[in-house]
Amino acid sequence: MAAVSLESQHDAPRIAGDGVPESAWRRSAWLAALPAQSASDWLAGVARLVIVSPHPDDEALGCGGLIATACAIGLPVRVVSVTDGEACYPDSPVWPAQRLRIVRRRELECALAILGVEIDGIDTLDIGDGRVSERESALVRALAPVLHTGDRVLTTWRGDGHPDHEATARAVERAAAERGARVVQFPVWAWHWLSPDVPVSPLPGAQRLVLTPAACRAKAAALGCFVSQLHDDRPGMPAPILPPHVLERFDRDFEVVLP
């Protein structure tokens, strides 16, 4: 996950303020009514799971439990980090882009190790945080040698409300079509702005993948690795990208995916 800059607010006007609290999602009738399946059953028959994440932490937020489940059952997993999330604090002297690039790669490696992904299962593309939409074709070309026919490829939702997330989804769809891989998407920012009270699900075809307690614990521990994104009350530190009320949305015993 990365902040949406003021310059890109016209692209993602729904991402503002504190967003929808998790307490409202716990009362959501349409979310509770989504078809449910265990994460392990959903992975049955999959040859390899590939996760294409716009920023370091999106993979853990959106499908960290699924990654942990796949690794636990011995399924090959590859994670592609499209950007290094280096622009998440553009006005902070504490977090210049070059420092963030190094720190966030280390955080990603720490988180994925907890989930079960070895360092040689990680690709970092450095497409440019906040620039994915202008470099979509380059991303498609970069993904082509990574994806294989028959892969199940997870990425952020095409309607997630963040320009990098949506551009990544479009590029993944193009690359996967060329390589004969199946794409499945997961919401991240959408939990910030979707309505929990509408009568019909705004996520057509979505389903809940139920996680084991062990997968939930691994996901929580992995998210704890992204220290640069968490609350820091030292003087001069910027507002965190993942404050407690945001992390609450991902402290569930299920994850949501959609075609």
pLDDT at residue 224, as a whole number: 98
pLDDT at 10: 37
Residues 37 and 208 sit within 8 Å (Cβ to Cβ): yes
User: Tens of pLDDT along 201-238?
Assistant: 999 999 999 999 999 999 999 999 999 999 998 888 99
Question: Which pTM does this prediction carry?
Answer: 0.94
**What pLDDT is stored for residue 3 in this prediction?**
64
Share of the chain above pLDDT 90, in %: 92
Of 3, 15, 1, the closest CA to residue 161 belongs to 15
Residue with the bigger pLDDT between 98 and 8: it is: 98
Residues 61-95: pLDDT tens digits?
A: 999 999 999 999 999 999 999 999 999 999 899 99
Q: What is the pLDDT of residue 52?
A: 98
DSSP string, 113-132: HHHT--GGGEEE----TT-T
The tokens of 233 are what? 């009350």
Query: The sheet that has 207-210: what strands, in order across it?
Result: 36-38, 207-210, 254-257
Buried/exposed code over 98-118 (b: 16+ C-beta within 10 A; e: otherwise): eebbebbbebbbebbebbbbe
Here the tokens at position 54 are 């716009």
Instruction: Give yes or no for a contact between 42 and 108, defined as CB atoms under 8 angstroms apart.
Output: no
DSSP letters along 59-109, please? HHHHHHHHHHHHHHTT--EEEEES---TTSSTT-TTS-HHHHHHHHHHHHH
Residue 12 binned pLDDT confidence (cut-offs 50, 70, 90): very low
Domains of the chain: 37-195+202-257 (3.40.50.10320)
| 8 A C-beta contact, residue 112 and residue 219 | no
Give how far the C-alpha of residue 245 lies from the chain's centroid of Cα atoms, to the nearest Å: 17
Mean pLDDT, all residues of the chain:
94
Please, what is the Cα angle at 161 between 158 and 163, to 5 degrees? 80
| pLDDT number for residue 5 | 42
Query: Kind and range of the H or E element at 151?
Result: none
Task: Please name which of 130, 122, 138 lies closest in space to residue 86, comparing C-alpha atoms.
Answer: 130
Hey, what amino acid is at 174?
R
What Cα–Cα distance (Å) separates residue 23 from each residue in 18, 60, 70?
13, 21, 29
Q: Where are the beta strands (DSSP E) in the chain?
A: 36-38, 49-53, 77-81, 122-124, 152-156, 182-186, 207-210, 254-257
Summarize pLDDT for 148-191 with one digit per residue, the tens.
999 999 999 999 999 999 999 999 999 999 999 999 999 999 99
Nearest residue to 137 (alpha-carbon basis) of 164, 172, 165, 166 = 172
